[in-house]
């Protein structure tokens, strides 16, 4: 039994079957990549996992509990954090505050009336946040206005916001898109280290095959809303159906 | 100091000094001089400055931090006022229970209104709050007349005999704080100047300082940061494990309680209330105060409230006779023409002046009066620096 079990999930948008009968299982402590051409339904699948969308059919079990019908904040509190395809950060706040917010969410739960406590007294959380900023090479940017940063920095910030929560499952939607080569390599190293040292399970959507093959232990190939195959990276490399799906895309 | 950082403590100290010295600062012109009508240092107006300052500070906790624009906050001011006057009619003329009741009732009503209105955001939220406020106005104006006194409102009358106050038969009770009457004043004449130190003003001023202090603490707390997160990206907040709803509702209730506090204080000062206090223009006024002063800044709303109340009370008093006096030095035809030009902007036309000032601020100073102050401050510092460089350059030549 994997930590995440998706069974028979289907989702329609009007006449379009964005997902149909998707079944996959993510093993605890593994990195599981989901690949497939644009429009295959990868982001839609993640949306069904975090409560942004409710699937029409099927079930999604996390850590032995169903996530269906739960609110996004409840699902996060169960231990799932998500990095979005377009960075979702608190643009009006500083980089440090962006990291502090998930820290508070992790420590204090979905709501706490800490109106007369002082931000500057939270030494422990501030230290933890500064630490994670060092991990993503952003320590020098902690007082910056988050909205004024480059897209690559926003991505790394969002990743740090998820990592600081020590999630049981980290969902990443194209985390290296728009990053320079060097940053991509740093991100690979960071994710690898997090997976190995902190044992965080990851499901990652990625177009960059270099990233996929550097990180993933299992790969699911999605095409037109259905899984084509699920296998190890080595087997996927030689799979004819996968070649076809990707060739199909490159001809467009 | 008091759990504030150096900068905030400095601001708080400055505001405290201003509140203490206001009767002096606001009366710069000697009695009987032509400019005396610009003096704002009389009790009634000073009370309004601090009370509407409280209203605006509370409104800013909701609008400035979470970005939710309520168009119905006067309803909470009104509910607070009615609660307060009933306490004074029935229980005691001491203002403390009245003010506490005002805060509690306004808070409960805000809980109800917020719970319903916060199901929507943006313009729909604003419209819902507006609808609630207008319903409250209609209730106070007619439906609930036995409770609210309808159109004429409620006053303390000679027939009222509050349980805990010993009044002689037929005596009209006066609001007090353990015997100290709100209306009592100490007058100090220096030369042609007359300064009035009024008990009611100082009591309202102290409450305002406490309200201001709490707002600074809220702004700097983790809770305040969560409210800014609501404004910045609610989606990210929810996917980060935070339930944005109770945060916004808490902000809404807190700001409703501030409004109730202001309403209670208004009653404590003039012991009367009417339904017009809840009319939608009163809700609009607090929006203007916040924007004029600087949304989301600590001191902005207080400045905005002061500015609007000053214009409402001072500019509205200027009439054509006064203008003729001012421009008497011009040739007759010119004088009439100038008075004719200015006429629409004074007296009842003060709204027009306010409108122009508001437009100018929104267009040229989107950060409100606070931004204006910051710009002047920066200009000043630069001048000083340039001056210093200039001096240094001059020295060798001498
Ligand atoms: N909210 C939505 N409403 C309608 N159609 C959608 C919505 N979200 C996604 N789609 C459609 O579903 C399909 C899958 O989209 P998506 O999951 O974003 O693909 P991928 O992430 O694999 O590129 C696309 O055809 C897309 O246009
Ligand atoms: Mg996508």
| B346-352 contacts at long range (C-beta below 8 A, 24 or more positions apart) | B346/B315, B346/B316, B346/B318, B346/B319, B347/B315, B347/B316, B347/B317, B347/B318, B347/B319, B348/B316, B350/B311, B350/B312, B350/B315, B350/B316
Residue B191 scores a pLDDT above 80: yes
Q: Tell me whether residue A184 is in a domain.
A: yes
Q: Tell me whether residue A76 is in a domain.
A: yes
Is B228 an 8 Å CB contact of chain A? yes
CATH code of residue A35: 3.40.50.300
Residue B392 scores a pLDDT above 50: no
Q: What is the predicted pLDDT for the residue at B344?
A: 87
Residue B196 scores a pLDDT above 60: yes
Q: Tell me whether residue A89 is in a domain.
A: yes
Q: Min CA distance, B79 vs chain A (Å)?
A: 25
Q: What is the predicted pLDDT for the residue at B387?
A: 60
Interface with chain A: mutation pick from B228, B239, B251, B296, highest number of A CBs within 10 Å: B239
From B222, B233, B240, residue closest to A76, measured CB to CB: B240
Q: What is the predicted pLDDT for the residue at B389?
A: 52
Q: Tell me whether residue B264 is in a domain.
A: yes
CATH code of residue B89: 1.10.3470
* Closest-approaching ligand to the CA atom of A42: 1
Higher-confidence position of B385 and B367? B367
pLDDT in tens, A69-114: 999 999 999 999 999 999 999 999 999 999 999 999 999 999 999 8
Tokens representing A65 are 């509990």
- Nearest to A101, CA basis, from B298, B246, B243: B243
The whole-angstrom separation of Cα B214 and Cα B257 is 12
Number of other residues whose CB lies within 10 A of the CB of residue B226: 28
User: Is the Cα torsion angle A231, A232, A235, A241 positive or negative in sign?
Assistant: positive
Q: Could you list the residue range(s) of the whole structural domain that residue B117 is in? A: 6-296
Q: Tell me whether residue B370 is in a domain.
A: no
Q: Tell me whether residue A122 is in a domain.
A: yes
pLDDT in tens, B73-94: 999 999 999 999 999 999 888 9
Distance from the alpha carbon of residue A85 to the mean position of ligand 2, in angstroms: 6
ipTM, interface predicted TM-score of the complex = 0.92
**Chain A positions in Cβ-Cβ contact with residue B246 (cut-off 8 Å):** 110-111
Q: Least CA distance to A92: which residue of chain B?
A: B232
The whole-angstrom separation of Cα B303 and Cα A23 is 61
C-alpha distances in Å from residue B63, one per residue of A79, B66, B70, B273: 32, 6, 7, 26
Backbone φ, ψ for residue A15 (5° rounding)? -85, -10
Which protein residue's CA is at the shortest distance from atom 26 of ligand 1? A39
Q: Tell me whether residue B129 is in a domain.
A: yes
Q: Tell me whether residue B276 is in a domain.
A: yes
Q: Tell me whether residue A252 is in a domain.
A: no
Q: Tell me whether residue B341 is in a domain.
A: no
Q: What is the DSSP letter of B29?
A: S
How many domains does chain B divide into? 1
pLDDT in tens, B26-47: 988 888 887 888 888 899 999 9
Q: Which helix (H) or strand (E) holds B181?
A: strand B180-181
Q: Tell me whether residue B244 is in a domain.
A: yes
How many domains does chain A divide into? 1
Q: What is the DSSP letter of B327?
A: T
Q: Could you list the residue range(s) of the whole structural domain that residue A54 is in? A: 4-247
């Amino acid at each position: 039994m994997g930590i995440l079990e998706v069974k028979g999930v289907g989702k329609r948008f009007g006449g379009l079957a964005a997902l149909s009968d998707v079944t996959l299982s993510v093993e605890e402590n593994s990195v599981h990549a989901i690949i497939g051409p644009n429009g295959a339904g990868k982001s839609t699948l993640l949306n069904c996992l975090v409560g942004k969308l409710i699937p029409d059919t099927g079930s999604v079990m996390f850590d032995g509990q169903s996530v269906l019908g739960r609110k996004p904040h409840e699902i996060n509190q169960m231990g799932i954090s998500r990095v979005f395809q377009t960075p979702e950060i608190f643009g009006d706040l500083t980089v440090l505050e962006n990291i502090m917010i998930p820290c508070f969410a992790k420590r204090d739960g979905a709501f706490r009336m800490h109106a007369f406590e002082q931000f500057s007294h939270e030494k422990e959380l501030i230290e933890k946040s500064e630490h994670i900023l060092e991990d993503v090479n952003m320590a020098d940017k902690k007082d910056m206005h988050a909205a004024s940063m480059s897209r690559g920095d926003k991505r790394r910030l969002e990743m740090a916001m998820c990592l600081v929560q020590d999630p049981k499952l980290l969902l990443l939607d194209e985390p290296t898109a728009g990053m320079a080569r060097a940053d991509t390599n740093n991100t690979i190293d960071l994710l690898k280290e997090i997976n190995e040292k902190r044992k965080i399970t990851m499901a990652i959507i990625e177009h960059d095959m270099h990233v996929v093959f550097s990180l993933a232990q299992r790969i699911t190939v999605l095409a037109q809303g259905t899984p084509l195959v699920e296998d190890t990276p080595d087997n996927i490399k030689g799979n004819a159906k996968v070649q076809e799906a990707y060739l199909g895309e490159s001809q467009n | 100091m008091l759990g504030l950082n150096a900068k905030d403590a400095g601001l708080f100290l400055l505001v405290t000094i201003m509140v203490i010295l206001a009767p002096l600062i606001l009366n710069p012109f000697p009695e009987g001089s032509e400019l005396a009508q610009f003096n704002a240092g009389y009790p009634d107006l000073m009370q309004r400055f601090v009370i509407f300052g409280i209203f605006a500070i509370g409104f800013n906790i909701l609008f400035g931090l979470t970005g939710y624009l309520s168009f119905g906050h006067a309803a909470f001011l009104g509910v607070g006022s009615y609660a307060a006057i009933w306490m004074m009619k029935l229980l005691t003329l001491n203002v403390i229970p009245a003010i506490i009741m005002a805060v509690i009732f306004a808070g409960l009503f805000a809980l109800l209104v917020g719970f319903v209105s916060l199901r929507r955001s943006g313009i729909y939220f604003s419209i819902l709050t507006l609808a609630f406020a207008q319903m409250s106005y209609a209730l106070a104006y007619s439906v609930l007349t036995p409770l609210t006194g309808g159109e004429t409102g409620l006053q303390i009358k000679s027939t009222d005999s509050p349980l805990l106050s010993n009044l002689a038969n037929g005596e009209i009770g006066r609001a007090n704080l353990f015997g100290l009457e709100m209306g009592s004043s100490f007058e100090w004449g220096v030369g042609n100047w007359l300064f009035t130190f009024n008990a009611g003003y100082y009591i309202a001023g102290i409450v305002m300082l406490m309200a201001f202090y709490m707002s600074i603490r809220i702004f700097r707390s983790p809770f305040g940061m969560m409210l800014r997160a609501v404004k910045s990206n609610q989606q990210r907040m929810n996917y980060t494990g935070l339930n944005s709803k109770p945060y916004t509702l808490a902000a809404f209730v807190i700001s409703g309680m501030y409004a109730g506090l202001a309403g209670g204080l208004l009653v404590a000062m003039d012991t009367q209330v009417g339904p017009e206090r809840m009319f939608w223009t009163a809700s609009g006024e607090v929006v203007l105060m916040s924007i004029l002063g600087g949304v989301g800044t600590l001191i902005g709303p207080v400045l905005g409230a002061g500015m609007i109340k000053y214009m409402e009370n001072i500019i509205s008093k200027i009439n054509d006779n006064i203008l003729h006096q001012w421009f008497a030095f011009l040739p007759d035809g010119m004088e009439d023409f100038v008075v004719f030009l200015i006429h629409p902007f004074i007296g009842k036309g003060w709204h027009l002046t306010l409108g122009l000032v508001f437009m100018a601020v929104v267009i040229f100073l989107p950060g409100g009066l606070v931004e204006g102050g910051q710009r002047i401050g920066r200009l000043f510092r630069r001048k000083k620096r340039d001056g210093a460089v200039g001096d240094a350059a001059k020295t060798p030549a001498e």
